[in-house]
């Protein structure tokens, strides 16, 4: 029988890569992409595959209980891969409410819909919650986040994701729901909304605008190519153990300033600019409030137990990423001409 899989947030950055992967690799699955199409959701991310026979798009809000009940009735999902979220830390600082609503209440609404629909028959069912390494808080200059690291979220975004993780685990423990969770480090690649560091910087370099670096640029992130995250999600969805958590990371730490220098080098080459030209755009601006110093993931459990490892090194990943944004200028321009521009102005005029 055809399995019906619900992917939430499939019009967003990571979700679109997951939807594409599942559609192509598993033609026997019926994939339903549920997305509200917030400012971050863009159906253009899926324009190459949206005519595939095993794909359906449903526009809706994960906080809408009535809508969710109807959706579960219509498609009889056996699997849920839950990515829909408000995902940008800076927005969570200026408007936390949307994060509480979508990330916490939305996740509970989905859990309730699944629980009610499955009605204690959990055979062949799976609720997979996609989360972030930011739930663990901030590291000093040493150490790595493991699955045993205590939760210590510091931003409204990470606190809302931590709450949703706790609730998913609680539904597993209390009601026996078959759940699995993964916590991933920063992703990069094509289709990322240009409010996040890498696409924002690529676009600013291309258009000769200042590259805003918060504080001194010493904060460290562990960058993973988005296709490698999609690969890990595929593996965990199919082979992850019930009720387990898996950390996913690139083993690829960069301070923001080093990362931007690397990006400037690649951009100089791709745009035929003299060496050092793009780096002149680097501009230090006021730091983010409560800015986490360092995230770094120990993904050895996933490597050991399920045999995953990142396929690309950063040199290759950043080349592919820059190539994608340069080849998809129209995608970027359409985003920049809309809502994003207003947001950009309010975000950076204060700094």
Please give the full DSSP string across 42-86, using - where no structure is assigned.
-GGGGTTTTT-TTEEEEE--TT-HHHHHHHHHHH--SEEEE----
Residue with smaller CB distance to ligand NAD, 101 or 125: 101
The CB density around residue 209, as the number of other CB atoms within 10 Å, is 15
Q: Per-residue contact track with ligand NAD, 72 to 91, x per CB under 6 A?
A: -----------xxxxx----
**Does the annotation mark 152 as catalytic?**
no
Distance in Å, CB of 224 to ligand TYD, minimum: 12
Distance in Å, CB of 49 to ligand NAD, minimum: 15
Give 3-state DSSP helix, strand, coil % of the chain, rounded to 5.
45, 15, 35
Candidate ranges 29-37, 146-154, 198-206, 321-329; the one touching ligand NAD (CB under 6 A): 29-37
Nearest-CA neighbor of 163 among 240, 117, 250, 96?
A: 96
Nearest-CA neighbor of 229 among 209, 252, 213?
A: 252
Site size toward ligand TYD, by CB under 6 A: 12
**Does the annotation mark 133 as catalytic?**
yes
Judged by CB under 6 A, the chain residues 186 through 215 that form the site for ligand TYD are: 186, 196-197, 200, 212-214
256 binds, among ligand TYD, ligand NAD, none (CB under 5 to 8 A by kind): ligand TYD
Q: How far is CA 185 from CA 50, 250, 290, in A?
A: 28, 7, 18
Candidate ranges 7-15, 73-81, 264-272, 306-314; the one touching ligand NAD (CB under 6 A): 7-15
- Tokens 């972030």 appear where? 132
Strand partners, 254: 221
Rounded Cα distance between 7 and 315, Å, is 31
Site membership for ligand NAD, residue 250 (CB under 6 A):
no
Return phi, psi of residue 240, to 5°.
-60, 150
CB 310 within 8 A of CB 225: yes
Q: Per-residue contact track with ligand TYD, 214 to 233, x per CB under 6 A?
A: x----x-x------------
Distance in Å, CB of 138 to ligand NAD, minimum: 15
Site membership for ligand NAD, residue 108 (CB under 6 A):
no
Distance in Å, CB of 251 to ligand TYD, minimum: 17
Nearest-CA neighbor of 198 among 229, 225, 216?
A: 225
The tokens of 22 are what?
């599942």
Query: How many helices and strands (H and E) does the chain possess?
Result: 13, 13
Rounded Cα distance between 295 and 140, Å, is 9
Entry field: residues in the chain? 351
CB 98 within 8 A of CB 86: yes
Rounded to a whole number of angstroms, the distance between the first and last alpha carbons of the chain is 56
Residue number with the smallest Cβ distance to ligand NAD: 12
221 binds, among ligand NAD, ligand TYD, none (CB under 5 to 8 A by kind): ligand TYD
Residue with smaller CB distance to ligand NAD, 132 or 149: 132
Site membership for ligand TYD, residue 264 (CB under 6 A):
no
Residue in 35, 134, 228, 253 annotated catalytic: 134
Task: Note the residues at the interface with ligand TYD (CB under 6 A).
Answer: 89, 186, 196-197, 200, 212-214, 219, 221, 256, 288
Task: Note the residues at the interface with ligand NAD (CB under 6 A).
Answer: 8-9, 11-15, 35-38, 40-41, 61-63, 83-87, 102, 106, 130, 132, 161, 184, 186-187, 193
| Positions marked active-site | 133-134, 157
């Amino acid at each position: 029988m055809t399995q019906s899989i619900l992917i939430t947030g499939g019009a967003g950055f990571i979700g679109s890569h997951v939807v594409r992967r599942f559609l192509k690799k598993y033609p026997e699955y019926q994939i339903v992409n549920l997305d509200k199409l917030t400012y971050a959701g863009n159906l253009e991310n899926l324009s190459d595959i949206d005519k595939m026979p095993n794909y359906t798009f449903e526009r809706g809000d994960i906080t809408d209980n009535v809508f969710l009940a109807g959706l579960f009735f219509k498609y009889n999902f056996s699997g849920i891969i839950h990515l829909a979220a408000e995902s940008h830390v800076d927005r969570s600082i200026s408007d936390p409410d949307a994060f509480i609503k979508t990330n916490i209440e939305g996740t509970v609404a989905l859990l309730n819909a699944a629980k009610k629909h499955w009605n204690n028959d959990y055979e062949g069912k799976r609720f997979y919650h996609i989360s972030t390494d930011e739930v663990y808080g901030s590291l000093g200059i040493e150490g790595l986040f493991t699955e045993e690291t205590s939760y210590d979220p510091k931003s409204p975004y990470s606190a809302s994701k931590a709450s949703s993780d706790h609730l998913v685990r609680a539904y597993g423990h209390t009601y026996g729901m078959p759940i699995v969770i993964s916590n991933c480090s920063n992703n990069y690649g094509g289709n990322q909304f240009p409010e996040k560091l890498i696409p924002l910087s690529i676009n600013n370099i291309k258009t000769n605008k200042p590259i805003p670096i918060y504080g001194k640029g010493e904060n460290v992130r562990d960058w993973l190519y988005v296709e490698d995250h999609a690969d890990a999600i595929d593996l965990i969805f199919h082979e992850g153990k019930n009720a387990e958590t898996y950390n996913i990371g690139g083993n690829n730490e960069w301070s923001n300033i080093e990362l931007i220098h690397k990006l400037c080098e690649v951009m100089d080459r791709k745009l035929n600019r003299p060496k050092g030209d793009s780096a002149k755009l680097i501009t230090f601006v006021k730091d983010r409030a409560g800015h986490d110093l360092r995230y770094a993931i120990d993904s050895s459990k996933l490597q050991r137990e399920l045999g995953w490892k990142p396929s690309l090194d950063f040199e290759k990943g950043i080349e592919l990423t820059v190539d994608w944004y340069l080849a998809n200028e129209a995608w970027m321009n359409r985003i920049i001409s809309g809502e994003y521009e207003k947001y950009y102005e309010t975000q950076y005029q204060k700094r």
